């Protein structure tokens, strides 16, 4: 094969192929600088005086499915009198520090979306730790900066990233799903740093923010965005109510007579699931329990009615429905439910504001699987920056 043909497959600007050696272990391509080109400063384009030359080895994509290709090239140091410093010339297709071409790094980064880092060695002869660095460099170079202009709504939530402890605060654009911010911790300060990056004009365009009502974020939002409406997240509220149902189930189970106890077996998820998601068998077994236990029956019906709030178009109708619901919950006298209803009454405006803005943190819940995948692939998270880049990449691909 003529060297010219290789030149088409392995083009390096300002360099030409001097030799191609095909060994059993792989292909080695030797480059030299194109002598027709004058030595120019990579920063200011002014002519430079030659200082010294060093041979460097880098890796590139394989040829015809073989092993990775080794590229040897001279990096040339010259003195730029315009910049007043020494400058190095190397092919722009090769990363200045990683000893790899950008296209090899981008290929590894693409693979990293689908396979674990530990598989990179057998797929592209790149060790896991190196692949991890390639992926991070590529994402840093290729992902656009977060778009902070014209945001109309935000989703804010915390996520556990390490078992037991270790949280991050996430901020997404509520309309596009773009991940805008990720910061360690779930405290006020973890969110405040996000608002520090916004101009007054950028803040003013935000009309609504969806959060969980139990977190530390509410105070920050009220302080930073006094005109925005807070929407309490549907999924967190339903989860809170689920806990109430579970608590009542435990209490009733404890109090149950010997004949009643078997009715409780395996009912935990039957009670928590929406009725339309139950199998016929589970539904029949739940009916038996509810027929035998009046307290659970009442809690279960109220649980099912609560989510009607999120079917209304008008806040007024939702408010009326919710007020009626609070009254019914109170009348049951079932302590955990009464306490929940009290909280709902206090937060009624932040719950019905959903009808106007129609935002939930469902998109953030969708990150759970990506977070565990990223953590698994990267063998535990070593860098919060990397987690941000990975989640941001996914959030941009989903929009
Ligand atoms: Zn210069």
How far from chain centre, in Å, is Cα 287? 40
115 or 220, which is more confident: 220
Q: What is the predicted pLDDT for the residue at 1?
A: 56
Residue 379 pLDDT: 52
Percent of the chain whose pLDDT exceeds 70: 96
SS3 call for 336: helix
Give 80 Cα–ligand 1 centroid separation in angstroms: 5
Q: Cα(48) to centroid of ligand 1, in Å?
A: 8
pLDDT at residue number 34: 92
Nearest 5°: CA angle at 310, between 309 and 313?
Answer: 95
Average pLDDT, the chain: 91
C-alpha 162/C-alpha 273 separation (Å) is 27
User: What is the DSSP annotation of 5-59?
Assistant: HHHHHS--TTEEEEEEEEETTEEEEEEEE-TTS--B-TTT--B-EEEEEEEEEEE
Q: How far is the CA of 59 from the centre of ligand 1 (A)?
A: 28
Structure tokens at 373: 């995948």
Instruction: Give me ligand 1 centre to Cα 97, in Å.
Output: 20
Q: What gap in Å lies between CA 26 and CA 67, rounded to an integer?
A: 6
Reported confidence tier of residue 2, pLDDT bands at 50, 70, 90 = low
pTM, two decimal places: 0.85
**What is the Å distance from ligand 1's center to 81 Cα?**
7
Average pLDDT of 308-323?
95
The whole-number pLDDT of residue 93 equals 96
CA of 89 to the centre of ligand 1 (A): 11
CB 170 within 8 A of CB 158: yes
CA of 366 to the centre of ligand 1 (A): 48
State in Å: Cα 51 to ligand 1 middle. Answer: 14
The CA 317 to ligand 1 mean position distance, Å, reads 68
37-46, 238-247, 253-262, 372-381: range with lowest mean pLDDT: 372-381
Residue 58 alpha carbon to ligand 1 centre in Å: 25
pLDDT at 162 > cutoff 90? no
Å from CA of 124 to ligand 1 middle: 37
Count of C-beta atoms within a 10 Å radius of residue 12:
22
Say how many Å lie between the CA of residue 78 and the centre of ligand 1.
Answer: 10
- What is the pLDDT at residue 377? 55
Tell me which of 52-66, 168-182, 321-335 is least confident: 52-66
With a cut of 70, say whether residue 6 has pLDDT above it: yes
Residue 229, φ and ψ in degrees, nearest 5: -95, 140
**Secondary structure string (H, E, C) spanning 82-124:** CCCEEEEECCCCECCCCCEEHHHHHHHHHHHCCCCHHHHHHHH
Q: Please tell me the distance between residue 74's alpha carbon and the centre of ligand 1 in angstroms.
A: 20
Q: From ligand 1's centre to the CA of 142, what distance in Å?
A: 26
Distance (Å) from CA 76 to ligand 1 centroid: 14
Q: What is the pLDDT of residue 373?
A: 72
Is the predicted pLDDT of residue 134 greater than 60, yes or no? Answer: yes
17-26, 210-219, 299-308, 325-334: range with lowest mean pLDDT: 17-26
CA of 133 to the centre of ligand 1 (A): 29
Largest CA distance in the chain: 96
Tell me: the pLDDT tens digits for 259-305?
899 999 999 999 999 999 999 999 999 999 999 999 999 999 999 99
Q: If you measure from the C-alpha of residue 85 to the centroid of ligand 1, how many angstroms do you get, rounded to a whole number?
A: 7
Ligand 1 centre distance from Cα of residue 13 (Å): 19
Percent of the chain with pLDDT over 90: 76
């Amino acid at each position: 094969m003529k060297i010219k043909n290789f030149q088409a497959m392995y083009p390096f600007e300002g360099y030409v192929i001097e030799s191609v050696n095909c060994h059993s272990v792989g292909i080695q391509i030797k480059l030299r600088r194109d002598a027709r080109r004058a030595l120019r400063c990579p920063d200011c384009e002014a002519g430079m005086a030659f200082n010294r030359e060093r041979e460097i080895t880098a890796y590139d994509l394989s040829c015809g499915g073989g092993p990775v290709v080794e590229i040897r090239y001279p990096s040339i140091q010259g003195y730029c009198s315009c910049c007043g410093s020494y400058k190095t010339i190397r092919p722009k297709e090769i990363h200045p520090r990683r000893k790899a071409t950008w296209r090899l790094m981008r290929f590894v980064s693409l693979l990293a979306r689908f396979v674990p880092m530990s598989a990179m060695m057998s797929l592209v002869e790149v060790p896991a730790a190196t692949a991890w660095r390639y992926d991070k460099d590529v994402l840093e170079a290729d992902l656009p900066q977060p778009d902070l202009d014209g945001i109309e709504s935000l989703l804010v939530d915390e996520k556990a990233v390490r078992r037991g402890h270790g949280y991050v605060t996430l901020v997404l654009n509520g309309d596009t799903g773009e991940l805008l911010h990720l910061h360690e911790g779930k405290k006020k300060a973890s969110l405040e740093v996000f608002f520090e990056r916004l101009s007054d004009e950028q803040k003013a365009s935000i009309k609504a923010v969806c959060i969980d009502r139990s977190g530390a974020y509410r105070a920050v939002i009220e302080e930073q965005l006094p005109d925005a409406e807070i929407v309490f997240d549907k999924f967190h509220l339903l989860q809170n109510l689920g806990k109430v149902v579970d608590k009542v189930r435990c209490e009733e189970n404890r109090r149950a007579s010997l004949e009643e106890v078997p009715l409780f077996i395996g009912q935990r998820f039957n009670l928590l699931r929406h009725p339309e998601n139950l199998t016929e068998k589970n539904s029949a077994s739940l009916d038996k329990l509810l027929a035998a236990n009046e307290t659970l029956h009442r809690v279960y019906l109220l649980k099912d009615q609560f989510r009607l709030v999120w079917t209304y178009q008008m806040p007024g109708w939702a408010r009326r429905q919710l007020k009626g619901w609070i009254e019914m919950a109170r009348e049951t006298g079932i302590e955990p439910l009464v306490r929940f209803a009290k909280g709902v009454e206090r937060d009624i405006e932040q719950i019905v504001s959903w009808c106007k803005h129609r935002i939930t943190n469902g998109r953030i819940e969708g990150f759970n699987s990506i977070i565990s995948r990223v953590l698994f692939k990267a063998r535990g998270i070593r860098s919060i920056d990397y987690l941000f880049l990975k989640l941001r990449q996914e959030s941009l691909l989903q929009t």
